[in-house]
Amino acid sequence: MLLAATRVRSWEGLLLCLPGGLSVFFLLSGQLAAGLVLAAVVILLAVSRAQIPELNIAGGYARARAFLLLGRWIALYLIFAVVIWLFILMHEQHWTRDPHGTVAFWSLLGFSLFLARELYRVAEQANAWLLGSDMEREVARELDPLRAEGWLITHDIRKDRGGNVDHFLTGPNGAFAIETKRGRPRVSDRGQAISNAIWAKRKFGLPFVTAILCVGTDPPAAPEQHGPVWVLGREQLLEFLHHTTDRGRPAAT
């Protein structure tokens, strides 16, 4: 499923076949270092050029981003493994007894520290996207029963100029754009929720769309309005949608 969530243009895939085949040749011929490094380069190029199609699956975009970051992490780890092997080779052959070997050692040490930092950073990013995807799917499970009540619900809508709207729904009480975040509410997250609501209003020609920020960590005890955006927890969503219009006023009962 994750592989289906990303794609590379056919001409780019064909271009990657040559270095990919060459890396296999190196590995089979026993040139492990060259084969692993070239394979890592192919993976890095593939994940950097991969596109995420619009599937309208809750958490689909975030999960695909996590998958691409995982591919980058694997490529960096392969290079890191080659660097460790070179350190072992340097030690066994006493490279540091020669001035050129000493320069190579310190250069490789600096490169290895950079790689270690990148490995940690990419792993953190992948984990954040994966947790965000889980949050989107949890919110989708809360929202989907509203379909039986006549609500129209779409998940993971790609915006024209990048980014996506996690959940967009229209129903008896109006239209709502929901941005989900696993962590605590931040000012930047509220801004993103407002931007999504404005985009949805213009895109679908609606008179008004309410911006909602649904957070998974430290949600307010009751829905709170911060300017044009409402901040609330996942458990508060259904009650809020049932009892609030798209302009933030109580719904008629």
What pLDDT, on a 0 to 100 scale, did the predictor assign at position 1? 40
φ, ψ dihedrals at 24, nearest 5°: -65, -40
φ, ψ dihedrals at 120, nearest 5°: -65, -45
What pLDDT, on a 0 to 100 scale, did the predictor assign at position 6? 60
Range 185-199 average pLDDT: 92
Range 133-157 average pLDDT: 93
The yes-or-no verdict on residue 8 having pLDDT over 90 is: no
* pLDDT above 90: percentage of residues in the chain: 57
Q: Domains plus CATH for the chain?
A: 3-135 (no CATH), 150-243 (3.40.1350)
Range 168-195 average pLDDT: 91
What pLDDT, on a 0 to 100 scale, did the predictor assign at position 159? 87
What pLDDT, on a 0 to 100 scale, did the predictor assign at position 186? 87
What pLDDT, on a 0 to 100 scale, did the predictor assign at position 2? 41
Q: What digits encode the pLDDT tens for the residues 229-251? A: 999 999 999 999 988 776 666 55
* pLDDT above 70: percentage of residues in the chain: 92
Residues 6+ apart with CB under 8 A from 195: none
What pLDDT, on a 0 to 100 scale, did the predictor assign at position 5? 52
What pLDDT, on a 0 to 100 scale, did the predictor assign at position 243? 85
Q: How far is CA 156 from CA 16, 58, 63, 130, in A?
A: 30, 6, 11, 15
What pLDDT, on a 0 to 100 scale, did the predictor assign at position 22? 86
Q: What digits encode the pLDDT tens for the residues 99-132? A: 888 998 999 999 999 999 999 999 999 999 999 9
Q: Is 143 exposed, middle or buried (0-12, 13-18, 19+ CB in 10 A)?
A: buried
Q: Report the distance separating Cα 162 and Cα 160, nearest Å.
A: 6
Q: Are 54 and 157 in contact (CB under 8 A)?
A: yes
Q: Is 114 exposed, middle or buried (0-12, 13-18, 19+ CB in 10 A)?
A: exposed
The yes-or-no verdict on residue 14 having pLDDT over 80 is: no
Residue 155 tokens read as 């998940």
Q: What digits encode the pLDDT tens for the residues 27-73? A: 889 898 899 999 999 999 888 888 877 778 888 888 989 999 999 99
The yes-or-no verdict on residue 217 having pLDDT over 70 is: yes
Which one is predicted more confidently, 6 or 144?
Answer: 144
Q: What digits encode the pLDDT tens for the residues 69-91? A: 999 999 999 999 999 999 999 98
The yes-or-no verdict on residue 9 having pLDDT over 80 is: no
φ, ψ dihedrals at 205, nearest 5°: 65, 40
pTM of this structure: 0.81
What pLDDT, on a 0 to 100 scale, did the predictor assign at position 10? 72
Q: Nearest to residue 167, comparing CAs of 129, 110, 114, 212?
A: 212
> Taken in order 3, 6, 11, 17, is the CA torsion positive or negative?
negative
Q: Report the distance separating Cα 44 and Cα 216, nearest Å.
A: 32
